[in-house]
């Protein structure tokens, strides 16, 4: 299965036309949160509507900028993955939106333990296929959670969970300056960077064998 991965759209769909061919040829587009600038629900509807017009299938989680009510809108528009696992073919997708508390008091900040608990409730140890995790908050100590000052700001409990569960892929966003890829054990980590700047992740998850991942700029 071929995925396109977006994050941190913040209401800006100026790159959608350029990304449309990539989105159209993938089996599924996942959005790793922050669809809006500050939780405006009409803006959230507008962004989801625009994405749906360019994708075959769409799943999304709310980011810390989208507010807790964002989940309700994603449910209404049949794209929600926050706490609502979806199995498509050989892949189980599980998701958690929100983010750990920031200095800025953003609309959807939650304890890290709540993020991990939500992922655990969706995880099925006896599932025989591949596991893809979509989580707005990155794990600690990787290329994906390092801010410009060089400090790591990801979740330590999230990292411990990844080390234990070893999902096939962990798709994230949140830290704009930390677009890139990394690994924790066998888990491929990817933050495509802000879509408003043209960042798009492309991930191919076969039934068996190696996962392939890259980031392109449109």
Q: Quickly count: other Cβ atoms within 10 Å of residue 157's Cβ.
A: 17
Tokens, residue 204: 């191919």
Three-point CA angle 176, 150, 159, nearest 5°: 70
Each residue of 86-119: pLDDT tens digit?
A: 999 999 999 999 999 988 889 999 999 999 999 9
Is the CATH number 3.60.21.10 carried by domain 2-217? Answer: yes
CA distance linking residue 54 with residue 77, whole number of Å: 15
CA distance linking residue 125 with residue 135, whole number of Å: 19
Each residue of 153-185: pLDDT tens digit?
A: 999 999 999 999 999 999 999 999 999 999 999
Look at residue 126 and tell me whether its pLDDT is greater than 90: no
- DSSP for residue 135: E
Q: Residue 81: pLDDT band by 50, 70, 90 thresholds?
A: very high
Contacts of 212 (CB under 8 A, 6+ apart): 203, 204
Closest CA to 185 of 205, 170, 175, 174: 170
Each residue of 32-63: pLDDT tens digit?
A: 999 999 999 999 999 999 999 999 999 999 99
CA distance linking residue 214 with residue 207, whole number of Å: 19
CB 214 within 8 A of CB 200: no
**How large is the average pLDDT for residues 191-203?**
97
Contacts of 100 (CB under 8 A, 6+ apart): 109, 110, 111, 112, 115, 137, 155
CA distance linking residue 20 with residue 214, whole number of Å: 17
Tokens, residue 190: 């990817």
pLDDT at residue 71 in the model: 95
Residue entry with tokens 């999304």: 60
CA distance linking residue 181 with residue 206, whole number of Å: 19
First to last CA, the chain: 22
Give the three-state DSSP class for 14. Answer: coil
């Amino acid at each position: 299965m071929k995925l396109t991965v977006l994050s941190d759209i913040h209401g800006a769909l100026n790159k959608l036309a350029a990304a449309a061919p990539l989105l159209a040829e993938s089996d599924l587009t996942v959005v790793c949160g922050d669809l809006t600038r500050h939780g405006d629900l009409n803006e959230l509807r507008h962004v989801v509507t625009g994405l749906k017009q360019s994708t075959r299938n769409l799943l999304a989680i709310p980011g810390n900028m989208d507010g807790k009510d964002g989940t309700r809108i994603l449910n209404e528009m049949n794209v929600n993955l926050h706490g609502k696992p979806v199995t498509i073919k050989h892949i189980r997708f599980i998701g958690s939106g929100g983010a750990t508390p920031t200095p800025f008091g953003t609309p959807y900040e939650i304890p890290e333990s709540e993020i991990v608990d939500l992922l655990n409730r969706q995880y099925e140890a006896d599932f025989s296929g591949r596991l893809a995790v979509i989580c707005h908050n990155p794990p600690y100590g990787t290329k994906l959670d390092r801010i410009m000052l060089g400090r790591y700001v990801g979740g330590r409990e999230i990292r411990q969970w990844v080390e234990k569960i070893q999902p096939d892929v962990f798709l994230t966003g949140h830290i704009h300056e930390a677009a890139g890829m990394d690994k924790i054990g066998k888990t491929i980590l990817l933050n495509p960077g802000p879509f408003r700047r043209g960042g798009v992740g492309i991930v191919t998850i076969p039934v068996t064998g190696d996962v392939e991942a890259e980031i392109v700029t449109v």
